[in-house]
Structure 1
Amino acid sequence: MFLERVPKTSNKFEKMTSDSRFVASALQPDTKPDMTKHTQLATLKFTFLSLLLTVLCSISFAQDIPADPAAISAGESLFNANCKTCHRVHQKLIGPALADVYNRAPSIDWIKSFIKNSAGLIASGDAYAVNLYNEYNKTQMTAFSGLKDEQIMQILAYVQAETIKGPPVAAAPVAAAGGSGDAGSGIPSSYLNAIVAGLVLILVLLVVILGFLVSALKRFLDQKDLSAEDKELVHSPITSNSILKSAGFSFIVIFFVVALGFKALINGLFSIGVQQGYAPKQPIAFSHQIHAGQYEIQCQYCHTGVTKGKSATIPSVNVCMNCHNQIKEGALYGTAELSKIQAAYDNNTPIQWVRIHNLPDLAYFNHAQHVNVGGIECQTCHGPIQEMEVVRQHSLLTMGWCIDCHRKTDVNSKGNAYYDKLVELHNKSSKSAMKVEDIGGLECAKCHY
């Protein structure tokens, strides 16, 4: 069959050649057709088409990354939850800076494969993956097999937007007029000082005015025809001795002593079992200020159970070594504290962390319900954890504290069809927002069973 097709192909070629000769003779009647020029022209056309196809493919490759604000916003959330612990866009951290990674990597498909299973790609002998592995002290990236391709593209959309935006420019410090205010304070300290000074001035003016009133009242009474006893009473000097011996003063002192003693007794009874401010010494001086504050590591990276179940869980030594197999020196304590982590890892023994937040056994609290459904931030209950060098119990965590929260907190029903019927019934009977107490948040069996 192949041999039968050769003459047809040859005839077609001869026809094309004759046509080319006819065109050439028409354009240049005195010149013989040159087949070399035709071959060069065909080669140039082929090369041009190849370059054009390559450019079009590269354009479509770049357009694979979405650029709409919704994708960028979703990518930022995914980046903060999954990538921010080890990566920054413009700064090298545990892993490389991700700016322009979609152009530096072999392909977007390669990026997807590396994110989902970096160990497998390295084991396959991929040159780019092996070079990264060796460059970063043979630290393997965590496998994010649960991420979908669409989510990875959203992360790349955020990285691309940040790459185009460029690295952040540090803002110049602004000097506050009349002294520096407290960091994070709603009112500058200069305003607070002015308010206190104004109140003190008002009190002084009131004392002066009362003194003038007493003096004026004495002059008025002197003009009256008073008896000797009344004049003695008006002009009797007020001394500290006369005040201390008066029955009224004795009654006031006894009343305040009894009231303060009773209040101290009640406060002592109510504080039994309350550990607000409790900050025990830990076996390793772990700083949340450095990890959650300075390096902005997400709470969920270490406390993995916070979105899955009742307990937030305490991280294992392996979680610590994800970073500290590369970071060998601490910012505050040098290698002394990190050597304890290394020793626990080498000996395969857990670190004996001291529990800080303790609830009685009769009370049930579920982290996943509050974090996933309620959308409650960690700082709502645990305070500014990112600022704590030593973690302490920030809130009371008492029954009254929980009930007060359920009475004041609006139910986050947006986008959750579970609450649609409840919201509809609530809106029929009330114009205010639906609170947690409106959906059974104060029922005893919710926390005690």
Structure 2
Amino acid sequence: MIKNFTSACKFFILVFVFAFVSSTSSAQEISTDPAAIKAGEGIFNANCKSCHKVKEKLVGPALAGVDERAPSIDWIKSFIKNPPGMIASGDAYANNLYKDYKPTMMTAFSSLKDEDIMNVLAYVKAKEAEVPKDDVIKDPVPGGENTEAGGSDLLNLVAIGVVIVLLLLVVTLALLISSLKRFLDQKNLNEEEKEVVHSPITLKSALSSPAFIFIVAFLVAALGFKTVINNLFAIGVQQGYAPKQPIAFSHKIHAGDLEIDCKYCHVGVTKGKSATIPSVNICMNCHNQIKEGAQTGASQIKQITDAYANNEPIKWVRIHNLPDLAYFNHAQHVVVGGVECQTCHGPIQEMEVVKQHSLLTMGWCIDCHRKTDIDTTRNAEYYDKMLKIHAEKKGSKAPFKVEDIGGLECSKCHY
């Protein structure tokens, strides 16, 4: 009986060990849930995209198959959170990686949770499984490539139509005057009345007439008034401002061609009021490896490496300036509101030289707060009570705008 009891105990121990190992391995399985992949894409774009691609080598290695190449998923988590520590500990795989890519060392992402890293792996796995699509020649969309041309043609047609209408009005007036003269000629008019009816209209008489003088004076006064008002409203408005920078940094190359996420360089955009100007250290995360022309005196990259070597900041010129009396918080708009950078800064990924795209005036901000719908699904519990109050006041079908949550209150933007 003791023998049978011992065998049963061994059996249950084996079952327990098997169940524990299975549960541990399943916890390490990379998710295929669309929500996890979507979350991983956001984390990848914000933290990894500037140095890694999924199927191609960039500054760092391609990430496809990383879960199979690395010693374990736990190793991946530890390395992402603390690469220098893993290398200093003598870990063979970490040191081999550093040997292949030195002097570049991966940034430590100690703030990432295990769940975040698993979501990134889920995104990488999903991208890895994607089959490249063949190029498809699509039928041209009506008005697609020629939208601008179509718009100018429409304006030309409108202008031609206005000219034709004016000509018709002139001809109609001439016919009316001729008919009126013939009608008056049939009446018994005295010599003075006939002289008035048949008096010729000369250029001199037209220019010296009180009606013409009044019209000219009115137009001059109106144009002068409009010019004064426009200049008054333009005070402090820097739309189109594009100062020369100490280094010719191209957003078209970095944000456009290389698709580096804005948040990677402007690290403060999700944390506080200011988006912050990138430090030299952030530039060197990539330019430790990318050094084309770094030895040339005129090279832009050499200016970056020199600034890094001399421990000096790059003196970038601020482009977007708000008056001291105005308060704007980037994190509130980007994180809570989900506002894209291009909403205010324009197509930044297409700009060789960055300029101020929007007005950034009080009226411009208020207009946005009046027109912008709030995505209440982002913080559903927070908006529950507000939605009920809004439905009672304006009806359940009325859109929920920023102004409905105090977006037009003075203290929101002014100290």
Q: TM class, shorter-chain normalised? A: 0.7 to 0.9
Alpha-carbon distance between aligned partners in 1 of 2:217 and 2:268, rounded to the nearest angstrom:
55
CA deviation map 1:247-277 (0-9, x unaligned): 2222111111111212222222222222222
Q: For structure 1, which segment, 402-411 or 352-361, has the greater mean C-alpha deviation from structure 2 after superposition?
A: 402-411
AA aligned to 1:278 is Y
Contact 1:329 1:335 in 2 (8 A): no
Q: For structure 1, which segment, 279-288 or 162-171, has the greater mean C-alpha deviation from structure 2 after superposition?
A: 162-171
Stretches of structure 2 that go unaligned for 5 or more consecutive residues are 1-17
Partner of 1:439: 405
CA deviation map 1:158-210 (0-9, x unaligned): 212211113465566977889953xxxxxx13422431342244234324533
Q: Report the CA distance shift for 1:171/1:77 in structure 2 as closer, same or farther (over 3 A).
A: farther
Partner of 1:66: 31
Stretches of structure 1 that go unaligned for 5 or more consecutive residues are 1-52, 182-187
Tell me if 1:93 matches 2:73: no
TM-score (norm 2): 0.82
AA aligned to 1:290 is I
Q: Report the CA distance shift for 1:364/1:205 in structure 2 as closer, same or farther (over 3 A).
A: closer
Larger radius of gyration: 1
Tell me if 1:302 matches 2:302: no
Aligned residues: 387
Partner of 1:287: 250
1:117-266 to structure 2, matched below 5 A, reads 117-167=82-132, 180-181=145-146, 188-214=147-173, 216-217=175-176, 220-221=179-180, 223-224=182-183, 225-226=186-187, 227=189, 240-266=203-229
Q: Report the CA distance shift for 1:384/1:268 in structure 2 as closer, same or farther (over 3 A).
A: same
Deviation of the 1:345 alpha carbon? 0.6
Contact 1:85 1:296 in 2 (8 A): yes
* SS of corresponding position for 2:93: helix
Q: For structure 1, which segment, 114-123 or 354-363, has the greater mean C-alpha deviation from structure 2 after superposition?
A: 114-123
* SS of corresponding position for 1:276: coil
TM-score (norm 1): 0.77
AA aligned to 1:111 is I
Alpha-carbon distance between aligned partners in 1 of 2:33 and 2:127, rounded to the nearest angstrom:
13
Tell me if 1:354 matches 2:313: no
Contact 2:369 2:408 in 1 (8 A): yes
Tell me the percent identity: 63
What is the Cα-based RMSD across aligned positions, in Å?
Answer: 3.2
AA aligned to 1:422 is M
Deviation of the 1:423 alpha carbon? 1.8
Deviation of the 1:66 alpha carbon? 1.4
Q: Report the CA distance shift for 1:296/1:249 in structure 2 as closer, same or farther (over 3 A).
A: same
Alpha-carbon distance between aligned partners in 2 of 1:206 and 1:345, rounded to the nearest angstrom:
68
Partner of 1:398: 361
Partner of 1:328: 291
Deviation of the 1:121 alpha carbon? 2.4
Alpha-carbon distance between aligned partners in 2 of 1:221 and 1:433, rounded to the nearest angstrom:
60
Q: Larger RCO: Structure 1 or Structure 2 (Cα < 8 Å, ≥ 6 residues apart)?
A: 2
Deviation of the 1:144 alpha carbon? 1.6
Partner of 1:381: 344
AA aligned to 1:202 is G
